A = this chain, B = another copy of it.
């Protein structure tokens, strides 16, 4: 396939590289230059503008947030203005449900196709082509994404024909991870103040009922109190909880744990935690308990 790829951050770089390895013809674009160099040596064409990356069968976007995607998608030189009729926009970014709806409508109006396909996994999984994709869109459109998904993912989960559903699911996933962080933070504040060794405690949890990687990863960070360098920075966590709550408000779904997470992130950021990993909210229960 002839594919444009927009957004060459840590995640996007690995994904674009795997598209090249799979034999696709890839034109890459990134707002700040220099990010494309390594991909060019692998055979990518570097575009000087988003427009130049929109001449193929599909364009894949992997951007930081709504604002970054909006800047590339709309406007006279944007994706919607540039993409051919029937071409595909495969949106992999973690964005708001509202933005996904706007894109869906704009592409439909322009006679183009839109698939929301946010991904689960860290940069190493992106580099290894081992992401998980949560995809939603018209059945035929998702079929046509197969060559792209095969190159970047170990598995694709199809979540219906309404693209924003996939974005909702992605946000809910980050909400669930943050819930794990908060609940571990409370439990560890409790047993820690009660005199139990936190690493022994974590060993028990992760060897028994809580074997999922999120418990090991985040439990370890909380037990060590080690939140720098940030794997996923607190402001990004806050953003995802804000988007979750915005979607929940739109659907009229009360989510009390999401509210609590919102407050935890605000407290963290208001007290100088901007550069910390989002799991630093897992120390706030202990701090409230007077354990500094």
Contacts and interface: CB of A to CB of B under 8 A. Distances in A.
B251 A200 contact: no
Interface stretch (A58-66, A143-151, A263-271): A263-271
A159 B211 contact: no
Given A134-B204, A190-B253, A196 B159 contact: yes
B196 A169 contact: yes
A290 B263 contact: no
B290 A270 contact: yes
A81 to B, nearest CB: 24
A127 interface: no
Contacts of A157: 200, 203-204, 207
A126 to B, nearest CB: 14
Contacts of A175: 183, 186-187, 190
A115 interface: no
B183 A247 contact: no
Interface of A: 97, 120, 132, 134, 155, 157-160, 162, 164-165, 168-169, 172-173, 175-177, 179-180, 182-184, 186-187, 189-191, 193-197, 200-201, 203-205, 207-215, 242, 244, 247-249, 251-260, 262-264, 266-267, 269-272, 285, 288-290
Given A155-B207, A208-B132, A289 B179 contact: no
Contact of A207 (B132, B195, B255): B132
A78 to B, nearest CB: 24
B159 A197 contact: yes
A190 B172 contact: yes
A289 B253 contact: yes
A164 B210 CA distance: 22
Contact of A252 (B155, B210, B259, B266): B266
